[in-house]
Amino acid sequence: MELVFALVIGALTSSGVYLILRARTFPVVVGLTLLSYGVNLFLFSSGRLATGQQPIIGTAASYADPLPQALVLTAIVIGFAMTAFVVVLSLRNLADNEDDHVDGKQPYKSPAPEEEEEVTGK
């Protein structure tokens, strides 16, 4: 069980990280969301995995660690706020630069030659 859970977190993290390194706002936003899923699961699991022990007094013999759950709940909501903001920001970027490249348009291009491919291309 633990291994499966660990693999899940690993998968979420790596796909998130990969997308964050893309050059367009949309994949970056998706990547951040995936990463936050991974992080939430990780933070949640820092209280260890428990089956059928929901921390509601009187419903079980022993209870899962409720604190990480509370933390994750906070994290989810904050994460939602942040996602919403960054989505809107990328829309604003789209509106301002008629383009959804993370570095905006031409004047923002890097002068350093080896960066060209990283930023060019519409």
| 3 forms part of the interface with another protein (CB under 8 A) | yes
Determine the size of the site formed for another protein (CB under 8 A): 111
Closest CA to 35 of 52, 54, 10: 10
| 7 forms part of the interface with another protein (CB under 8 A) | yes
Task: Tell the smallest beta-carbon distance from residue 106 to another protein (Å).
Answer: 11
Q: What is the footprint of another protein within residues 64-103 (CB under 8 A)?
A: 64-97, 100, 102-103
Rounded Cα gap, residues 15 and 53, in angstroms: 31
| 52 forms part of the interface with another protein (CB under 8 A) | yes
Q: Please, which residues have CB within 8 angstroms of residue 47's CB and are 6 or more apart in sequence?
A: 64, 65, 66, 67, 68, 69
Q: What is the footprint of another protein within residues 9-38 (CB under 8 A)?
A: 9-38
Closest CA to 17 of 39, 2, 47, 1: 39
Task: Tell the smallest beta-carbon distance from residue 53 to another protein (Å).
Answer: 5
| 63 forms part of the interface with another protein (CB under 8 A) | yes
